[in-house]
Structure formats: C-alpha cells, structure tokens
C-alpha cells in the first residue's frame, strides 16, 4: 500500500501553532497582563433569534412521524434554494434556484470542486492566500502559480497575460487582506479566464460585509456565467461557523472540455455527499427572512464598527492598510519597516495584543499583519489605544 505522496509536498502549517505557542509563553511569564486577541478568524456573536427559532421548530418536526424527514436532496431543499435565489435578486444578480447547491460550508466545496478537474490543470491563486485553495490542490497533485497582491496594486492581484492557468481562485472581499475587487477588475479576470479557457472559482464568503458600490457576486459582472463558479457561506454572513451551511452556484450553461459543469458536480455530490440536515437548512432559510436579515445585519454592523475603529487607528498612525470597510479584516504594512514576526512580538510585549503575522499567508504577506474585527467592541477600542501608546513610546 502506498499513500498519496502529494501529501509530502504540503508545507507545514505552523502559523497558528506558532502564534498560540508565543502567546501562551508570554501569558505564562506575565500572568498579570490581560491579552487582547485580534487574530480570531471566527465569529463571536450568537445566532440571530429568528434563526434559532426556525431550527427549534424544525427539530420539533423531526420528532413527529407525520413531519419527520429522512435524507434530504443532495442539492438542498427547494425552500432554501429559492430563498438563496431571491437573496441574489435582492442585489440585482439573477441566479435561478436550480443553479444553487446547498452544502455544509464553503471550505469543503472550495476543495471538493477539484474532483471534477484534471490533475494536470495549473491552478492560479493570489498571494497572500486562504491556505485551503493551495493545500487541496497540492493534495490533488496540481501545479500552483501565484499572482502577487502587493501594496502597489492595493492588494488586488491582477492577471498577467504571460502566465497560463486553467483554474483561478479569487476571494473578494479577501481573506486575509480585506481588499475587494471592483467590477472593472473582475471584468479583467473574466477576460483572462475566457482567453485561457479557465474556470474562476470565486469565494464570496465575505460578500455580506460589502457596503461600497462593489460586486457582491462575480455574477454581477458580464461574462462570469461563461467561466465562473461561486462559493458562499452563512459562516460569516450569519454566524454559522458552528452550524455549517453554505452554497455553491454553478450557471446552467457553464461548460468546459465538452462537459456541463453543473451535471458533473451533481454527479460528484450524489456520490460523495448526502446533504445538509433539515434543521440547519430551515435555520439557513430563516437567515433570508426579513426578520433574519435584519437581525444578522445587526451582528455584521457590530463587527463593522470594530473594523472602523481599527481602520481609523491605522489611519491616524499613518500606517498603510487595506480592508476594514468591506471586510472584517484589516491588513496593515507593519510600521517602521518591521517584519511580520518582529511586529507580532512588539504588539504582544508592548501592547499585549495578539494579531496574525501576514507572512503566514504567503510570500507577499511578509512585513504585513492581519487584524480581525471579531473581538468585543470594548476590547477592540482598548487594543487600539494600547497600540497607539506603544508606538508613541517606541
Ligand atoms: C471563513 C471562510 C470561508 C467559510 O468557510 P465555511 O466552511 O463556510 O465555514 C470560506 N472562505 C474563506 C476565505 C473564509 O475565510
């Protein structure tokens, strides 16, 4: 028996382990200091009341023989696919219910979609990058090429026509940089994809954080239906990180290599996936109800107020940053030319604040730091005061 040797090519993922190790060592040596964690990549506010109510009601239905549900459909219940289709319509994007595949979160499908593409495909990712796109494709033995996101391009990597790719991962608003593409920039990526006969795998997990006039979906941009698949999730939209529900959108007409992509994906899902539980799909449906929308938006506004506090502080300190307006992430260039880990130590020791070193997300993240807006508001304000003081004292 031989294992899949592609696993040998995975880079050791030590970013969060090293952050935790350094943080614990500091806390143990200074038990009197109150550390503020601004590295959290998980939501912290509870589910909206309307969502919990729907989940409880569905649980009751499961307890009664006349309303009990067995296996759900592979692609999700119609009531949820229709709600998602109407949600797209609410920001002017036309997606029909039969183009929606309900899943247990965007992370799984971002990796699983690779099942339907050849291992010979070249995969393009932007750098810095959400590690899922890289690691899942290394496991499949694919070659990866990187498009640099830098200060010069506002951390919005753009296509290089001299580089060929078959699969293109884009994430906007971006994790980790918080930068979001304009419609014009996405149009350039779509043109590049069409010229290369490539598929764009578009991760819209943070679309609900967009408040500027920017596309909430790649399907808001002309040409996308001929080259793109979109992944979205209720994890950040509605605090579903522990509840698990997302959706993948595949246009009916999307074709590559003489094959209809939606059909292939249905074939793949029906072989490897038995759907999302009924109570969770009812909870997801409630997110899109008027009451659920109102309540989940309040939570997003809470995080966005935190993001604004962080962004304003960076502005005042003259530190260059992206994100914070259309994203829960604020991505900064470390001050005074400090490296990511050097500034990490500075923040930990001088301000007792923990953030995430940018170089953990790729070469182009060197010298950068990611702050998240998922902490409590008062802690966020205090962290920013401490950082301001530490930098003034330095
Ligand atoms: C959080 C996140 C997701 C969502 O993943 P789920 O599996 O739906 O929880 C997807 N993409 C990115 C870039 C994320 O940061």
* pLDDT per residue as tens digits for the range 120-130: 999 999 999 99
Residue 339's CATH number: 3.90.1150.10
| Distance between CA atoms of residues 147 and 160, nearest Å | 8
Verify whether ligand 1 is closer than 6 Å to residue 260 (CB atom): no
CA distances from 343 to 351, 352, 369 (A): 11, 12, 8
* Boundary (domain end) residue, out of 271, 289, 307: 289
Token digits of residue 23: 């943080």
Task: Annotate 93-113 with b (16+ C-beta within 10 A) or e (fewer).
Answer: bebebebbbbbbbbbbbbbbb
Atom 4, ligand 1: residue with shortest CA distance:
106
Residue 295's H or E segment, with its range, is helix 290-316
Ligand 1 pocket test, pick from 43, 175, 303, 328 with the greatest ligand atom count within 8 Å of Cβ, gives 175
Residues 154 and 285 in one domain: yes
User: The domain spanning residue 58 has which CATH number?
Assistant: 3.40.640.10
Domain end among 261, 289, 317: 289
Give the largest Cα separation in the chain, rounded. Answer: 69
Residue count (the chain): 394
C-beta neighbour count of 253 within 10 angstroms? 11
Q: Are residues 107 and 212 in the same domain?
A: yes
Q: Which of 106, 172, 323 to mutate to test the pocket of ligand 1 (most atoms within 8 A of CB)?
A: 106
Q: For the chain, count helices (H), then strands (E).
A: 12, 15
| Å from CA of 233 to ligand 1 middle | 7
- 26 and 120 assigned to the same domain: no
279 and 353 co-located in one domain: no
CA angle at residue 45 from 291 to 317, to 5 degrees?
115
Based on the domain organization, do 274 and 330 belong to the same domain?
no
Q: What is the DSSP string of 82-114?
A: HHHHHHHHHTT----GGGEEEES-HHHHHHHGG
Residues 224 and 247 placed together within one structural domain of the fold: yes
Looking at the fold, whether 278 and 312 belong to one and the same domain comes out as: no
Please state, in angstroms and as integers, the Cα–Cα distance from residue 111 to each residue in 137, 187, 229, 247, 278, following that order.
Answer: 7, 24, 13, 14, 24
**For tokens 């690779």, what's the residue?**
114
Express each pLDDT in 227-269 by its tens digit.
999 999 999 999 999 999 999 999 999 999 999 999 999 999 9
Locate the ligand 1 atom nearest the alpha carbon of residue 241 and give its number: 9
* Tens digit of pLDDT at every position of the chain (394 positions): 999 999 999 988 789 899 999 999 999 999 999 999 999 889 999 999 999 999 999 999 999 999 999 999 999 999 999 999 999 999 999 999 999 999 999 999 999 999 999 999 999 999 999 999 999 999 999 999 999 999 999 999 999 999 999 999 999 999 999 999 999 999 999 999 999 999 999 999 999 999 999 999 999 999 999 999 999 999 999 999 999 999 999 999 999 999 999 999 999 999 999 999 999 999 999 999 999 999 999 999 999 999 999 999 999 999 999 999 999 999 999 999 999 999 999 999 999 999 999 999 999 999 999 999 999 999 999 999 999 999 999 8
- Choose the final residue of a domain: 241, 273, 289: 289
235 lines ligand 1 (CB under 6 A): yes
Q: Which residue has a Cα nearest atom 8 of ligand 1?
A: 105
R_g over Cα of the chain: 21
- Say if residue 128 is in the same domain as residue 170: yes
- 214 and 69 inside one domain: yes
For the segment 152-171, what is each residue's pLDDT rounded down to a tens digit? 999 999 999 999 999 999 99
**Residues 300 and 275 occupy one common structural domain:** no
11 and 28 in a single domain? The answer is: yes
Domain count of the fold of the chain: 2
CA torsion, points 214, 178, 133, 85, in degrees to nearest 10?
A: -40
Is the CB of 88 within 6 Å of ligand 1?
no
Domain identity same for 342 and 353? yes
Residue of 149, 114, 147, 111 whose CA lies nearest to 132: 111
Determine if ligand 1 sits within 6 Å of the CB of residue 75: no
For ligand 1, say whether the CB of 234 is within 6 Å of any of its atoms: no
Range of the domain at 320: 5-47+292-393
Locate tokens 């997990």: which residue? 205
The pLDDT > 70 percentage for the chain reads: 100
Q: How far is the CA of 327 from the centre of ligand 1 (A)?
A: 13
The residue to mutate among 203, 331, 370, having the most atoms of ligand 1 within 8 angstroms of its beta carbon, is 203
Answer whether 107 contacts ligand 1 (Cβ < 6 A): yes
Provide the token pair at 271.
Answer: 């072989």
- Going through 51-189 in order, the beta strands assigned E by DSSP cover 100-103, 122-127, 143-148, 167-171
d(CA 34, CA 165): 47
């Amino acid at each position: 028996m031989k294992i899949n040797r592609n696993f040998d090519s995975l880079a050791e993922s030590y970013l969060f382990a090293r952050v935790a190790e350094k943080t614990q060592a500091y806390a143990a040596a200074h038990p009197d200091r109150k550390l503020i964690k601004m590295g959290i990549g998980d939501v912290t506010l509870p589910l909206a009341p309307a969502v919990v109510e729907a989940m409880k009601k569905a649980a009751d239905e499961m307890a009664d023989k006349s309303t009990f549900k067995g296996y759900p459909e592979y692609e999700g219940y119609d009531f949820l696919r229709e709600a998602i289709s109407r949600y797209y319509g609410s920001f002017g994007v036309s997606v029909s219910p039969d183009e929606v595949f309900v899943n247990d979160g965007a992370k799984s499908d971002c990796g699983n979609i690779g099942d339907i593409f050849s291992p010979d495909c070249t995969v393009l990712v932007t750098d810095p990058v959400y590690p899922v796109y890289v690691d899942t494709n290394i496991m499949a033995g694919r070659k990866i090429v990187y498009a640099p996101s830098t200060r010069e391009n506002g951390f919005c990597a753009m296509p290089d026509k001299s580089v060929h790719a078959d699969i293109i991962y884009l994430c906007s608003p971006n994790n980790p940089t918080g930068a979001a593409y304009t419609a014009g920039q996405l149009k350039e990526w779509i043109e590049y994809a069409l010229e290369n006969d490539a598929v764009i795998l578009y991760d819209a997990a943070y679309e609900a954080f967009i408040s500027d006039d920017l596309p909430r979906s790649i399907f808001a941009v002309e040409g996308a239906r001929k080259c793109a698949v979109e992944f979205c999730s209720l994890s950040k939209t509605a605090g579903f990180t522990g509840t698990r529900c997302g959706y993948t959108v595949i246009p009916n007409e999307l074709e590559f290599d003489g094959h209809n992509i939606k059909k292939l994906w249905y074939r793949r899902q029906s072989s490897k996936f038995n759907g999302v539980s009924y109570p969770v799909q009812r909870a997801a449906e409630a997110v899109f109800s008027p009451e659920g929308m109102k309540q989940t938006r309040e939570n997003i506004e809470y995080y966005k107020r935190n993001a604004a506090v962080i962004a304003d502080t960076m502005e005042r300190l003259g530190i260059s940053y992206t994100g914070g307006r259309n994203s829960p992430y604020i991505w900064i260039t470390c001050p005074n030319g400090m490296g990511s880990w050097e500034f990490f130590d500075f923040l930990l020791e001088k301000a007792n604040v923990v953030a995430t070193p940018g170089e953990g997300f790729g070469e182009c993240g060197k010298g950068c730091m990611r702050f998240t807006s998922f902490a409590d508001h008062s802690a966020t304000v205090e962290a920013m005061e401490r950082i301001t003081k530490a930098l003034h004292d330095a």
